[in-house]
Structure 1
């Protein structure tokens, strides 16, 4: 029990940290970044995320422009938005289910029910990590394909810091969810072992009880012999 409880605590720390990283990735500015270098200093830095595109000059002043319409956006940006929002929502519900299913908490019912809830929380966290991983990978694929395309004449961008944060959070969510799923194996194996052990004990008690009954039956003298001995003794007294 102590080992599985320690595994659940480690899994909860991993998944919660991953969910926080994934949630912080969604409003982060630098999903992709590009710069125009001058002779001495950088004259302008262009960066963009899922919600707006901006430019920052050498004095630190930023001018941003929000995306005008969701329906007019590129398909990959819409897909990334949906996947990231789904990852954040799944991580929230996974955190709630993990608190209910952990053995160190006093809610959730029996150990078997808590193990099922913990396994479900691990699956939810794995799905959250996969959604975030897919969104960051899709966005990075679009950046790299445009960067290495010789026919692409527009401004080229590079990978931003938000993508690396999202990948890190996704890996933590997947690892923590897997640990949650593997931590319940001890509970089910323990319950099966107890069931077999109890069955063997009951069988041994029944066998010993049967042997004892048979032994007492063989050692007990028959009723007819006892009655006949009484009659013979009575007859002897009469003749005397």
Structure 2
């Protein structure tokens, strides 16, 4: 009974992480630039994501624009797109594999094979976690290095 509860807990956490990856893939807040000029009226925030960038004015008005060409994008955005989509698809595979092998389903007869299938699903979830860390760390490195680089203008610092 305890192992079944742990399986359900792991499955729930896997689903939560998978939904988080899908949300992170679609949201335009991977890099946020907030700069306020001398005049507070021109205050604006720029959100740059994998699929679009948005400008939010101080009045609350937001304008978003989808990127025109994939070839014009920096390599970190292209890699981030590819890896997050791959992770979302792999997460779906991990979900299916884990559900098939779970003790609360009757897809496969109980035994060693069923537990091996659950372990394989968990391994796929771990692989997804490692793969989604690659674009995350890449973007974080760019933001931190640009912030402390004196040659980058203050309007471009994120």
Using the alignment, how far apart are the partners of 1:45 and 1:96 within structure 2? 40
> 2:143 maps to what in 1?
143
Matches within 5 A, 1:157-172: 157=158
Corresponding residue SS for 2:34: strand
TM-score norm. by structure 2 comes to: 0.90
Question: Which is higher, the Rg of structure 1 or of structure 2?
Answer: 1
Corresponding residue SS for 2:130: helix
> 1:155 maps to what in 2?
156
> 1:91 maps to what in 2?
91
Gaps of 5+ in 1: 158-240
TM-score norm. by structure 1 comes to: 0.61
Alpha-carbon RMSD across the aligned residues, in angstroms, is 1.7
Offset of residue 93 of structure 1: 0.7
Using the alignment, how far apart are the partners of 1:143 and 1:105 within structure 2? 45
2:42 counterpart of 1:35:
no
Gaps of 5+ in 2: none
Corresponding residue SS for 1:95: helix
Offset of residue 40 of structure 1: 5.0
Structure with the larger RCO, 1 or 2 (CA within 8 Å, 6+ apart):
1
| Aligned residue pair count | 156
Matches within 5 A, 1:134-213: 134-153=134-153, 155-157=156-158
Normalized per residue, the structure richer in helix is 1
Offset of residue 99 of structure 1: 0.6
* Paired residues of 1:35 and 1:42 also in contact (CA < 8 A): no
> 1:10 maps to what in 2?
9
* Paired residues of 1:54 and 1:62 also in contact (CA < 8 A): yes
Using the alignment, how far apart are the partners of 2:77 and 2:28 within structure 1? 14
Corresponding residue SS for 1:26: helix
Offset of residue 145 of structure 1: 1.1
Offset of residue 39 of structure 1: 5.1
> 1:126 maps to what in 2?
126
